[in-house]
Amino acid sequence: TLRQVAEFADASNFSPHAMAGSAYGASDVRRKLAALDGHCAVLGRPAASVLRTQVAVPVVLAETPAALAAKVAAIPEVVRRGYASSTVACLPEDAVAYYQELAEAGLNYFIAGVYGNDTETVRLLAERVMPVLGGRDADAA
């Protein structure tokens, strides 16, 4: 698949879910990006011309561990089970560390799949995560 990405695609997703990239952490991301870079080199394509994305579903942030546990428990069991490998449920400072590690591994675009009407997670991403990471649109959020 990564050879086809190098030949035909403008972006590739490296998410921690079997249906969306199967990159279960920074070491998987590095390994897969090295393979993609190798395919790009063989084809004479600049590796940086492929956008490297990650989608996490669901992303759940809260101010305290107790509030986080309550929010996660409110997500239906079938959703929690189905997206267990791609769930990012943590405090804002842990989200910064999570995304920073993946950015350092080589990803350059992140999509946070927020479950339901969780405006607190959206606010925490905008106010406490994106500004620390230096997100391009952090000032606009």
Buried b (16+ CB within 10 A) or exposed e, 26-55: beebbebbeebbebbeeeeeebeebebbbb
Point out which residues pair with 13 in neighbouring strands: 53
- Please write the tens of the pLDDT for every residue from 92-109: 999 999 999 999 999 999
pTM of the model: 0.89
pLDDT at 127: 96
pLDDT at 135: 59
- Please write the tens of the pLDDT for every residue from 40-73: 999 999 999 999 999 999 999 999 999 999 999 9
